[in-house]
């Protein structure tokens, strides 16, 4: 995600309460094969370890009742 003047949008990482790490801004996700995965400037990384689509959150944390300090 970029501004129209091509100035990069700073990335932010938000720790969601009892949920994923939400990354928003100009970031690239590169898989283990070196391929870029397009997540549209917003990606949630699993923090609970239960996702079936790691490293991404698939909302499994909700059903599992994941809690974090």
Among 41, 47, 67, 69, binds ligand FES (CB under 6 A): 47
Query: Tokens in use for 56?
Result: 């991404």
Which of 1, 68 has the CB closer to ligand FES? 68
**What is the rounded distance in angstroms from the CA atom of residue 18 to the CA atom of residue 46?**
11
Residues 6+ apart with CB under 8 A from 8: 2, 25, 26
Among 33, 46, 55, 65, binds ligand FES (CB under 6 A): 46
Q: How far is the CB of 22 from ligand FES (least distance, A)?
A: 10
**What is the rounded distance in angstroms from the CA atom of residue 57 to the CA atom of residue 42?**
12
Q: Does 50 bind ligand FES (CB under 6 A)?
A: yes
Footprint on this chain of ligand FES (rule: CB under 6 A): 19-20, 46-48, 50-51, 57-61
């Amino acid at each position: 995600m970029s501004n129209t003047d091509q100035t990069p949008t700073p990335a932010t990482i938000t720790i969601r309460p009892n949920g994923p790490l939400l990354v928003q801004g100009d970031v690239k996700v590169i898989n283990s094969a070196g391929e870029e995965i397009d997540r549209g400037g917003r990606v949630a990384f699993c923090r609970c370890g239960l996702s079936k689509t790691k490293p991404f959150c698939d909302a499994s944390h909700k059903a599992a009742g994941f809690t974090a300090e």
